[in-house]
Amino acid sequence: MKPDEHETSSTAWSITPDEPVSVLAIGLNHRTAPLGLLEQMTIDESHQPKALTDLMGRENISEAVVLSTCNRIEVYAFAETFHGAFQNVRDFLSETAHVPPERFSDALYVHYEADAVSHLFAVTSGLDSAVLGEHEIQGQVRNAWEAARLEGTCGTTLNALFRHAVEVGKRARSETGISHHITSVSHAAVALAGERLGGLVGRRMMVLGAGDMGGGMAAGLANSGVGEVVVANRTADRAAELARRVGGRSVGLDELAAELVAVDVLLTSTGASSMILEHCDVAGIMARRGHRPLLIVDVAVPRDVDPTAGNLDGVTLLDMDDLRAFADRGLQERRAESERVRNIIGHEVNRYMDYSSAREAAPLVAALRSRAEILRREELDRHGGGLSPAEREAAEAATRRVVNKLLHEPTVRLKQAAGSPRGDRLAEALRDLFDL
């Protein structure tokens, strides 16, 4: 495997095969993989429960969350060992997508421990998105976390991590300007259409899909002066509700081709696992239009429209690659805010790791102190039978102070080293020495 220099932790491959690891983040995104590969690797919402159950059946994984969006497919895992867990996740991705590992290995990135935490915080804050600062990703992270909780694959470690990640995303957007201007894929799609047509005033628009992305695109059109908004969706009730919210009208998928004869722009982003409009469908629509130009902005992953339809006369077909290029041109306004967000992330990673280390050390510290307290009481009971109440109280206080002083330094050192190889050695020594 050849790790990407920007995405893969440079020290990940130095871990010994059986070295314990806590949190891992493994995946592909728009920076490391072409759109065609991301389409094949994506896991749609309906398949997430099965995917999570599959992951939890793997030998080295104790907890798992799957984050699959139009820009990424990532697995976050609480792992027993690094190499075993990595192999588990790579096999899972290959088997789920029916893609051999050699097809995606070069695009795969791996983060572990603090780097994995930092990566998730950056993702949730919108720093790792095609549209810098986009707000949709925060909801997608929350949904992935909730799906894992419902399936019982998210335990103490990942629950704490994802709860903290959502808090970091909120802080990044409230304390910096990272979310100003165009900050969602859906709004960028509307802006891209407007740029290509020189404005959308008076245009007849169709939105295909009434989910979060479709809703965002429809909302972006609502105040742009368009002539009409038509919403098409597989579920008629959701289409009608979205159309009502934006002052448009709704149609069923069986009316899609007829409606496309009249519109100027199609904005599409459904959760369908296969194409909704094949090349021949678009060809028939264009023939009925008399080849009057049609702009299609397809930001679905997998794509809703056959990419070859873009070769038809009169059709301009834009996809996520075009949207990323468009978003890159507007980066300068928010780049200064990126550094402020990174500072927040750095602080929050340290805070999370400190909390995590203390949490890991706490049970052993409690066991050590409990063992010492049992020994202290046993000795005091054995030799303090002839003491007066005042003398007994003084002996209690004196022996308790001695125990606390003796255990103070081991406790501090164990907490400071928790989560590191040295911490593991100290913990093992304490268990052996005190029979914990």
Cβ neighbours around 139 below 10 Å, total = 12
Classify residue 237 as left (phi > 0), alpha (psi -120 to 50) or beta: alpha
Give the burial class of 197: count Cβ atoms within 10 A of its Cβ; 0-12 exposed, 13-18 middle, 19 or more buried. middle
Note if 280 is an active site residue: no
Contacts of 36 (CB under 8 A, 6+ apart): none
Contacts of 374 (CB under 8 A, 6+ apart): none
Instruction: Tell me which residue has tokens 């909390």.
Output: 355
Instruction: Out of 41, 70, 200, 207, pick the active-site residue.
Output: 70
| 3-state class (DSSP) for residue 229 | strand
Check whether the bond before 302 is cis (ω within 30° of 0).
Answer: yes
Contact 224, 193 (CB under 8 A): no
Residue 61, beta-bridge partner list: 79
Type and span of the H or E element at 207: strand 204-208
Q: Which amino acid makes up residue 400? A: R
Active site residue ranges: 70
